[in-house]
């Protein structure tokens, strides 16, 4: 029975009486449980809505994301088992459609649980999807694919010095960008204490454009670093070097959560700084 179960995987929109069925909503790749907030009370009193909370989003912001559909489907499937005491319906949007399809297969083949229905949107049927192989074609092809998707500041992608300083090079930078997108989903574009039940950090300080005090200080340090080499404006390396001076700052947490090997990065930046001061 699902009564009393509190799952980190689902935001529950409960019913006054015991639910007769459950609708499980799976968001798109850039989405979160909040995407389905309006659905929570959109159905009759017998339908309980479960909005799926992916790791790395909103309430689960500090958790590492899952980068394989198969692994995500395994986790969602296991988390759904306690809620299968009434008929289940899945709805998935875009990437969530693929997750929903994989979850449906696992529920039936592994546990004998047949869904009442699987609804999808913005996704082709599995047998009509064209396999993507861009990741096999080298760094430049991968960068071009990311640029084509939009929503990413091209300065980071176009700065070869910044890419080279990261352990793992370009693939690591792209992974970091993906993680940053997830954090934007969780926190909003500016620091806020009222992001819709998201677990967002409270408002911090009065820096420019809503920046945190740490970000403001890092930008000042980056400008000074650029000036020390005769530069008129700070670059990506200047800002990154300013952030890594404080190993406990939020930026360092972001790097760790994105899977960046922080210590080699700090060492590489220290070497670059020495070369800059003696060059």
**Domains annotated on the chain, with CATH:** 10-128 (3.40.50.1820), 135-278 (1.10.1780)
Annotated active-site residue 94? The verdict is yes
What is the predicted pLDDT for the residue at 242? Answer: 83
DSSP strands (E only) in 84-205? 88-93, 117-121
Q: Could you tell me if 179 and 258 are in contact, meaning their C-beta atoms sit under 8 angstroms apart?
A: yes
| pLDDT value of position 247 | 75
One of 32, 94, 122, 232 is an active-site residue; which one?
A: 94
Neighbouring residues of 223: CB distance < 8 A, sequence distance ≥ 6: 233, 234, 238
Residue 38: predicted pLDDT: 92
| Pairs from 136-139 (Cβ < 8 Å, separation ≥ 24) | 139/169, 139/170, 139/171
pLDDT of amino acid 73: 98
Residue 211: CB atoms within 10 Å: 17
Spell out the per-residue pLDDT of the chain, length 279, in tens: 344 567 999 999 988 889 999 999 999 987 889 899 999 989 988 999 999 999 977 788 778 788 889 999 999 999 999 999 999 999 999 999 999 999 999 999 999 999 999 999 999 998 888 877 776 777 777 777 777 766 556 666 677 777 778 777 777 777 777 666 555 544 433 333 333 333 333 444 445 556 677 778 888 888 888 888 788 888 778 888 887 777 777 777 777 777 777 788 888 887 777 776 665
Q: What pLDDT sits at residue 228?
A: 84
CA dist 107 and 116 (Å) reads: 12
- Structure tokens that stand for 141 in this block: 């092809």
- CA-to-CA distance for 11 and 36, rounded, in angstroms? 10
pLDDT for 139: 72
What is d(CA 50, CA 11) in angstroms, rounded to the nearest whole number?
Answer: 6
Closest CA to 66 of 56, 79, 58, 53: 56
Give dist(CA 147, CA 173) in Å, integer: 13
């Amino acid at each position: 029975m699902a009564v009393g179960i509190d799952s980190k995987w689902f935001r529950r929109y409960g019913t006054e009486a015991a639910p007769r069925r459950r609708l499980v909503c799976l968001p798109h790749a850039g989405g979160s449980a909040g995407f389905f907030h309006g659905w929570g009370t959109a159905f009759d009193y017998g339908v309980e809505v479960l909005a799926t909370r992916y790791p790395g989003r909103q309430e689960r912001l500090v958790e590492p994301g899952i980068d394989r559909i198969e692994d995500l489907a395994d986790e969602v499937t296991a988390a759904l088992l306690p809620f299968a005491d009434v008929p289940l319906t899945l709805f998935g949007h875009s990437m969530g459609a693929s997750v929903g399809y994989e979850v449906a297969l696992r529920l039936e083949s592994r546990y004998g649980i047949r869904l009442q229905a699987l609804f999808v949107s913005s996704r082709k049927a599995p047998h009509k999807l064209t396999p993507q192989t861009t990741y096999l074609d080298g760094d430049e092809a991968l960068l071009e694919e990311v640029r084509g998707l939009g929503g990413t500041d091209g300065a980071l992608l176009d700065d070869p010095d910044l890419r080279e300083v990261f352990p793992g090079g370009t693939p690591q930078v792209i992974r970091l960008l993906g993680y940053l997108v997830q954090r934007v989903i969780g926190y909003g574009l500016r620091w806020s204490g009222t992001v819709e039940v998201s677990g967002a950090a409270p408002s911090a300080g009065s820096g420019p454009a809503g920046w945190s005090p740490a970000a403001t200080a890092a930008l000042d340090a980056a400008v000074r670093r650029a000036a020390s080499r005769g530069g008129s404006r700070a670059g990506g390396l200047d800002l990154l070097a300013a952030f890594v001076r404080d190993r406990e700052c939020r930026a360092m947490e972001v790097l760790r959560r994105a899977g960046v090997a922080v210590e080699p990065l700090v060492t590489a930046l220290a070497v670059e700084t020495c070369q800059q001061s003696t060059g």
